[in-house]
Structure 1
Amino acid sequence: MKKLTPLARTLAAAVALVALNPMKETTMAAETADMIVLGDYVVTMDDAAGVIEHGAVAVKDGAIVAVGKADEIKAKYTAKEIMNGDSKVLMPGLVNGHTHTSMTLLRGVADDLDLMTWLTKFIFPMEGRFVDPEFVRIGTSLACWEMIRGGTTSFVDMYFYPEVIAGVVEECGLRAVVTAPMIDFPSPGFKGWEDSFAAGVKFVESHKGKSARVKPGLAPHAPYTVSKEHLAEVLGAAKKLDVPISIHVAEDQSETKTIADKYGMTSIELLSEIGYLDHPVIAAHVVWPSEHDRALMAKGKMSPIHNPTSNLKTGAGIAPVPQMLDDGITLGLATDGAASNNDLDMWEEIRFAALLHKGNMHNPTVVPALSALKMATSEGAKAATLGDVTGKLVPGLRADMIQVDLTSPRLAPLYDVISHLVYATNSGDVVTTIVDGRVLMKDGKVLAIDGAKVKAEADALGAKIKAALAEAN
């Protein structure tokens, strides 16, 4: 036998070792993902992960499977699609914690009025006259188109014909908590409390668990439009069905007086007495909570939703957001409906939330930029009862995220990405919107909705409403 050289013996030994200890195939090949989304900055909204420069998120089956440095993610995963992140921020999609999507069709019909005049003299009568399933379908489609363009990926809705709203959401790809409205007097499709309550319960029963992106709930309008007995009836149903409640609370001083005169307490004390604070409640507005109200909310499950633009426009007031944050209350952020805003631009609300209270309190340190951004993402998701699903870029949550383009002159130079997102970014900077791993907008083009068709339908219906109003006058 020919004698092996030392080098040959070493190579032979190495081959034999490999044969005896083969590496598992999973360590030899990269894991598969459906999509890898890149960003010069990945703003995770997770306190532990923070902001990752030159980062990436891997997505599989609609969920986030990995977040980290782009080189590391691309080394570990192969994907059918890799979305470029040059000059972009990748971050969670925005959460609009309270709106009435169909009211896009009433945008601008009644401005510069106090809340109660606006509601009782204009909005309630117009809803009774014009709102039907077709109105809701067109209005919700228009709202979803606007939200996709602006980077809102989840919203909490409270409006008539919730089954129609749920259908639009399911089709367009957004995520929503769709709550069925209930009120003590006649409203679109209903004679009064009994049939609106029954329809709300039926909606929840038929839609719970039906969709991964549509979460049903119940929505008694407000303590001043729904009796104490009926509010208790809603709570009982919500507990039985295990769904959240959405309600307007402490929105205006006229409400505060009405409830005090009728019950001798505040709206939040009334709801606490009934048991609402022991159940997940999405409380829109909360502009006028007392110190005792805030203490009750800090110990309970009610989450206020701040609506700065709407509250300013109706003259309702300025919510004590800094104090509620100091109390440890989970706060969300919202636009309200387009009839009192007049748009669904969450970037405006983020900026208002950060600036308004600084001026109101003469203190530039209150509601810092990160706190305002959390109200629209991680904390906002919790407030909307979606914290186990969305609001952060962390493994295990659903892939709801957006890319914000940084090439605008408004965004140069960049020293602090959080500062830019809060104080300089607007909705036009959003170029990519993804929900549940589905790309709804790419390179600024909405893919999930035929915008031209929706706008044509909205314009046509708006013209009919305008003509009907002119004829009536």
Structure 2
Amino acid sequence: MKIKAIVNSIAGICAGVFMSSCLIAEENSVTSRIENPPVDLIVYGDYVLTMENLDSANNGIIEKGAIAVSGGKIVAVGPASEIEISYDAIKTISGDGRILMPGLINGHTHSAMTLLRGFADDLPLMEWLQTYIFPMEGRFVDKEFVEIGMRLACLEMIKGGTTTFADMYFYPKTAVDTVDECGMRAIIGAPMIDFPSPGFGGWDDSMKAGVQFVQDMKAKAHPRITPAFAPHAPYTVSPEHLAEVLKAAKDEGVPILMHVAESPTEVEDIKNRYGKRPVTHVADIGMLDHPMAAAHVVHPDEDEIKMLAGSKIGAVHNPTSNMKLASGVAPVPAMIEAGVKVGLGTDGAASNNDLNMWEEMRMAALLHKVTSGDPTAMPAGDVLRMATSLGAAALDMEDDIGTLAVGKRADMIQLTVDRPHLTPLYNVISHLVYAANAADVVTNIIEGKVLMEDGKVTILDEASVIEAANKKASEIKAALAER
């Protein structure tokens, strides 16, 4: 009996010790859960390219890194080993064999013109516009056209790694609804032009509608969509009307989107009408003192580059469109050296013919090397900045996007590097500009929401988007056959 009592006593002591250990372990576990703040998402990358400190020893790259996201914002950036012991995530995305970087910023496009992709090629700018684009837009562009075309554009951009774009086209309210559905970030400009256009009889009603659009959007305060005024160009909008737009933009506190100095024809036209070059012309109206994304800016002279450098204007380079329409070669290296905020854009798919920002980066790098005769012109780092951090500055959005930093919006993409054309990998930045393409993008995250994962777009039904676009295109083909 004594032996049994001793055994029971020992068992009781052991059980007490065991229970005490379990309680301590549970307490430690609870403490651990309390100490680790929960986040919505942790995204990993074998290479995390923050686009900050590109001139540092590591070029802003964190090997085996990760980013924690909560409430649509970045809350931590660092080595994966530190992030994963500091945060508990609802969802994680692996970074094995992947580059994690900021989403690309398309600084100038006309998204719905995806429905006019390739229908009028190999023509001079003015003939292209006046003989084909304007007449066909007058016949076909309506709310349905814009909805179908913009949904197709958003699908293309999401798959290609674009997270933000600046758009100027007709029916901006429809554009906003479609962008909202697609989950992208955008600046949507209300179109304004002196002559009749889709939905408008002329300037007065387009200006009135533009003001109403901006005011309605401001009242909603959409987290991803910024309204803007979008007068077409100095050669299609009078100085008096541009001054009217500038006043309205200042009153409403919104940016302006406009084509400026795109072609030699425009330069001669503005000089003949007003006795000055296009950049000087808009400067004299006062437009350099207000945030504006000026598309193309192919033909500024040295004095105008100095004007732009000290202004609130961002210039958006569109190399493929400029080459295709023979508009010329923008002095981008000189503008960047002078301090101009230069972004990168695709223009519309009718003059490109795609919305592929990887192609624009490669074109920008190579175009300026061959035209200058200098192989060091437009190094890969500068070009990548134009598509990310510098592009954000050109749109006056650098406080929110363009780099992966704590406090910024969680807009980021992953590319796989486990592919023949990306093997071997010596320099991440060089690879992204000279070797990567849209098909290498496998993940697209905007405002912390995963829009594409493992190469599959989750926010849109790709098949139905393409079917609707082809159906609308059949109508346009029939009209072309009539011509």
| Secondary structure, aligned partner of 1:80 | strand
Alignment partner, residue 295 of structure 1: 306
- Give the one of 267, 282, 286 matched to 1:271: 282
CA distance in 1, matches of 2:427, 2:302: 35
Alignment partner, residue 217 of structure 1: 228
CA distance in 1, matches of 2:405, 2:32: 23
TM-superposed CA distance for 1:366, in Å, is: 1.1
Aligned amino acid, residue 365 of structure 1? T
CA distance in 2, matches of 1:394, 1:404: 19
- Give the one of 35, 50, 53 matched to 1:44: 50
Aligned amino acid, residue 327 of structure 2? A
CA distance in 2, matches of 1:222, 1:267: 9
TM-superposed CA distance for 1:468, in Å, is: 2.4
| Secondary structure, aligned partner of 1:288 | coil
TM-superposed CA distance for 1:26, in Å, is: 8.1
Say if 1:455 and 1:27 are closer, same or farther in 2 by CA, change over 3 A.
Answer: closer
Alignment partner, residue 4 of structure 2: none
CA distance in 2, matches of 1:367, 1:330: 14
CA distance in 2, matches of 1:462, 1:395: 44
- Give the one of 133, 142, 145 matched to 1:135: 145
CA distance in 2, matches of 1:367, 1:156: 23
TM-superposed CA distance for 1:406, in Å, is: 0.3
CA distance in 2, matches of 1:185, 1:206: 25
Alignment partner, residue 200 of structure 1: 210
| Secondary structure, aligned partner of 2:194 | coil
CA distance in 1, matches of 2:201, 2:140: 16
CA distance in 2, matches of 1:128, 1:28: 61
CA-atom RMSD, angstroms? 1.4
Aligned amino acid, residue 175 of structure 1? R
Alignment partner, residue 11 of structure 2: none
Q: 1:310-329 to 2 correspondence within 5 Å?
A: 310-329=321-340
CA distance in 2, matches of 1:242, 1:234: 12
- Give the one of 266, 276, 299 matched to 1:255: 266
Where do 5+ consecutive residues of structure 1 fail to align? 1-21
Alignment partner, residue 86 of structure 1: 96
Alignment partner, residue 35 of structure 2: 29
Sequence identity (%): 57
| Secondary structure, aligned partner of 2:350 | coil
Moved more, 43-52 or 272-281: 43-52
- Give the one of 370, 392, 406 matched to 1:395: 406
TM-superposed CA distance for 1:28, in Å, is: 6.2
CA distance in 1, matches of 2:60, 2:392: 17
Alignment partner, residue 249 of structure 2: 238
| Secondary structure, aligned partner of 1:89 | strand
Q: 1:327-342 to 2 correspondence within 5 Å?
A: 327-342=338-353
Q: Deviations over 1:259-290 (max 9, x none)?
A: 00111111111111111000001000000001
| Secondary structure, aligned partner of 2:329 | coil
Alignment partner, residue 69 of structure 1: 79
Say if 1:421 and 1:183 are closer, same or farther in 2 by CA, change over 3 A.
Answer: same
Alignment partner, residue 4 of structure 1: none
CA distance in 2, matches of 1:42, 1:370: 15
CA distance in 2, matches of 1:28, 1:214: 36
TM-superposed CA distance for 1:29, in Å, is: 2.4
CA distance in 2, matches of 1:152, 1:71: 29
Q: 1:128-167 to 2 correspondence within 5 Å?
A: 128-167=138-177
CA distance in 2, matches of 1:469, 1:304: 35
| Secondary structure, aligned partner of 2:341 | coil
TM-score normalised by L of structure 1: 0.94
Aligned amino acid, residue 350 of structure 1? M
| Secondary structure, aligned partner of 1:396 | coil
TM-superposed CA distance for 1:25, in Å, is: 5.4
Alignment partner, residue 13 of structure 1: none
- Give the one of 278, 281, 296 matched to 2:292: 281
| Secondary structure, aligned partner of 1:441 | strand
Q: Deviations over 1:116-140 (max 9, x none)?
A: 1100110000000000000000000
- Give the one of 412, 433, 446 matched to 1:435: 446
| Secondary structure, aligned partner of 1:318 | coil
Aligned amino acid, residue 53 of structure 1? E
Q: Deviations over 1:168-192 (max 9, x none)?
A: 1111100000001100000001010
Alignment partner, residue 445 of structure 1: 456
Q: Deviations over 1:53-109 (max 9, x none)?
A: 000000001100000000000010110111000000000000000000000000011
CA distance in 2, matches of 1:159, 1:251: 17
Alignment partner, residue 7 of structure 1: none
Moved more, 110-119 or 27-36: 27-36
CA distance in 2, matches of 1:381, 1:298: 16
- Give the one of 113, 117, 120 matched to 2:127: 117
Alignment partner, residue 11 of structure 1: none
Alignment partner, residue 345 of structure 1: 356
> May I ask how many residue pairs the two structures share in their alignment?
451
Q: 1:6-25 to 2 correspondence within 5 Å?
A: none
CA distance in 2, matches of 1:383, 1:300: 11
CA distance in 1, matches of 2:75, 2:304: 41
CA distance in 1, matches of 2:419, 2:66: 22
Alignment partner, residue 437 of structure 2: 426
Alignment partner of 1:360 is 2:371: yes
CA distance in 2, matches of 1:309, 1:270: 26
Alignment partner of 1:413 is 2:424: yes
Alignment partner, residue 309 of structure 1: 320
| Secondary structure, aligned partner of 1:178 | strand
CA distance in 2, matches of 1:448, 1:133: 21
Alignment partner of 1:378 is 2:389: yes
Aligned amino acid, residue 419 of structure 2? S
TM-superposed CA distance for 1:163, in Å, is: 0.4
TM-score normalised by L of structure 2: 0.92
